[in-house]
């Protein structure tokens, strides 16, 4: 859909903004807000009715939405409550975060959140707009590149650190339309972005279905085989159920050796031998492009005890992202295992590494690992638990057939997923471009409501 432009423009005086409608103005945000103040944190709660919900920046998504699952309750003084109590229409800006991506993300207080009678933490800044700026339009502006790029520049050029303060936030320049026109802009964006968001949701549902299908294809193939008429037998393992009669069933250690990494803190250097840790085992092949590197001395120490990775070995993550597994390929450079991974080596050289890589990602193995994992925040699994995972092993030739079948079927599903992910990227780019064009006056939406009624 194409939209009309305004009849007359003027130079904004700002290179990155260009021209704005002739009847608009350009103002620093501080001229359009009544309040610009930091939050509170108080003290540990008493677990009584007097405690106050304090919203945190971690409950704000990167795109400016709320995700409040377990709101924090804090003990605040009455003065703290009075100073930080949120009302509908307030805007909360993240001013400090461990991730530069989150600096400047902005959420708006809805009526539902205002009913909680909550306050906000000291990592956030509360903005309350004046009568010259509609809160919803401010929300669109602050979450768009128009403001986020200014936040990034101000935060890094002033302090060298990705942190904002009230002064920096107030310096952000915004194009300002007359008040009635602001309402038209906000309404237009509500409608048009909701259409895009609905399309994004459809693509995300498709991706979820493709992932489920992918998992089902793998899990069925590595537990039931490819012959639907094959005689079956009970495996004796609840997660496996029945398996083909001629398959062997037993602990993983019967088919593969499992060797933990050396628990040594290696010396890191800019130019050396790469180390594979959790990050390097997120895809089919070990990816060392961004791996940390160590010296020859530490490399030799780390590969002691038959720990030197070889072609066909599997590197398995046993901490944090438990269960990620990657294969050592023919063209994988020489490397050593870093922390948090272990090395799998097959006992029978004719076994298919491709097949076993799929086994380790199958539902039957994932469910066993979920029971064996320990740790509250960072999950991990002990090496002995890995060695005793129950698996089903077809003859080596059949392993190759199954692996080829999975690669073919999964490859098509992965292609569809890639297309859906690309569609989401394009939709999000269009959403950002539409918001930017609208709030800077590159399109005229004043007659949008009337055109919709006529249509």
The pair of structure tokens assigned to 38 is: 């930091």
Backbone angles phi, psi at 320, to 5 degrees: 60, -90
Q: Which two tokens stand for residue 162?
A: 């990705």
Q: Starting at the edge strand that comes first in sequence, how are the strands of the sheet with 72-74 ordered?
A: 72-74, 52-55, 119-120
Whole-number pLDDT of residue 97: 82
Q: Which class is 25-176 in CATH?
A: alpha beta
Calculate Rg over the CA atoms of the chain: 28
Alpha carbons 222 and 403: distance in angstroms, whole number: 9
| pTM, full prediction | 0.84
Q: Is 190 exposed, middle or buried (0-12, 13-18, 19+ CB in 10 A)?
A: exposed
Please tell me whether residue 341 adopts helix, strand or coil conformation. Answer: strand
Q: What are phi and psi for residue 316, nearest 5 degrees?
A: -120, 130
Backbone phi, psi, residue 374, to 5°: -125, 165
* Per-residue model confidence as pLDDT tens for the chain (455 residues): 678 999 999 999 998 899 999 999 999 999 999 999 999 999 998 876 779 999 999 999 999 999 999 999 999 999 999 999 999 999 999 998 877 788 999 999 999 999 999 999 999 999 999 999 999 999 999 999 989 999 988 887 555 557 899 999 999 999 999 999 999 999 999 999 999 999 999 999 999 999 999 999 999 999 999 999 999 999 988 889 999 999 999 999 999 999 999 988 889 999 999 999 999 999 999 999 999 999 999 999 999 999 999 999 999 999 988 999 999 999 999 999 998 999 999 999 999 999 999 999 999 999 999 999 988 677 899 999 999 999 999 999 999 999 999 999 999 999 999 999 999 999 999 999 999 999 999 999 988 755 554 44
* SS3 assignment for 365-395: HHHHHHHHCECCCCCECCHHHHHCCEEEECC
Domain with CATH 3.90.220.20 in the chain: 25-176, 209-402
3-state secondary structure of 340: coil
CATH superfamily ID and name for 209-402 = DNA methylase specificity domains (3.90.220.20)
Q: Say if residues 107 and 101 touch (Cβ distance below 8 Å).
A: no
pLDDT of residue 156: 72
**Span 283-321, pLDDT tens digits:** 999 999 999 999 999 999 999 999 999 999 999 999 988
DSSP line for 43-104: B---SSTT-EEEE-GGGB-TTS-B--SS-EEEB--HHHHHHH---TT-EEEE-B-SSGGGTT
């Amino acid at each position: 859909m194409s939209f009309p432009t305004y009849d007359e423009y003027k130079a904004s005086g700002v290179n990155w903004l260009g021209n704005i409608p002739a009847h608009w103005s350009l103002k620093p945000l501080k001229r359009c807000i009544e309040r610009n103040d930091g939050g509170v944190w108080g003290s540990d709660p008493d677990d009584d009715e007097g405690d106050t919900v304090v919203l945190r920046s971690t409950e704000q998504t990167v795109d400016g939405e709320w995700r409040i699952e377990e709101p924090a309750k804090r003990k605040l003084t009455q003065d703290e409550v009075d100073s930080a109590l949120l009302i509908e229409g307030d805007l909360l800006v993240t001013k400090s975060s461990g991730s530069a991506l989150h600096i400047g993300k902005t959420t708006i207080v809805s009526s539902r959140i205002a009913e909680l009678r909550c306050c906000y933490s000291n990592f956030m800044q509360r903005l309350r707009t004046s009568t010259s700026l509609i809160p919803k339009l401010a929300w669109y502006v602050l979450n768009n590149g128009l403001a986020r790029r200014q936040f990034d520049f101000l935060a890094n050029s002033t302090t060298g650190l990705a942190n904002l303060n009230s002064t920096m936030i107030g310096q952000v320049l915004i194009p300002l339309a007359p008040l009635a026109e602001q309402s038209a802009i906000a309404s237009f964006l509500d409608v048009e972005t909701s259409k895009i968001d609905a399309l994004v949701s459809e693509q995300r549902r498709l991706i979820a279905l493709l992932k489920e299908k992918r998992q089902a294809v793998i899990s069925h193939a590595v537990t039931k085989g490819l012959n639907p008429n094959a005689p079956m037998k009970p495996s004796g393992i609840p997660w496996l159920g029945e398996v083909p009669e001629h398959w062997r069933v037993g602990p993983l250690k019967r088919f593969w050796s499992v060797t933990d990494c050396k628990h040594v803190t290696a010396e890191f250097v800019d130019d050396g031998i790469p180390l594979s840790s959790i990050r390097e085992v997120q895809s089919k092949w070990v990816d060392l492009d961004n791996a940390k590197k160590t010296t020859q001395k530490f490399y030799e120490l780390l590969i002691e005890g038959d720990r030197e990775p070889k072609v066909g070995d599997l590197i398995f993550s046993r901490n944090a992202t438990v269960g990620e597994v990657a294969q050592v390929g023919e063209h994988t450079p020489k490397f050593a295992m870093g922390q948090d991974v272990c090395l799998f080596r097959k006992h029978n050289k004719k076994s298919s590494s491709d097949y076993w890589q799929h086994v380790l990602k199958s539902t039957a193995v994932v469910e066993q690992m979920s029971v064996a994992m320990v740790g509250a925040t960072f999950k991990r699994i002990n090496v002995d638990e890995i060695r005793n995972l129950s698996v089903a092993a077809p003859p080596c030739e059949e392993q190759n057939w199954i692996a080829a079948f999975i690669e073919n079927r999964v490859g098509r599903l992965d292609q569809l997923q890639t297309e859906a992910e690309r569609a989401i990227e394009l939709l999000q780019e269009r959403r950002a471009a539409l918001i930017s064009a609208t709030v800077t006056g590159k399109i005229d939406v004043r007659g949008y409501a009337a055109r919709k009624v006529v249509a």
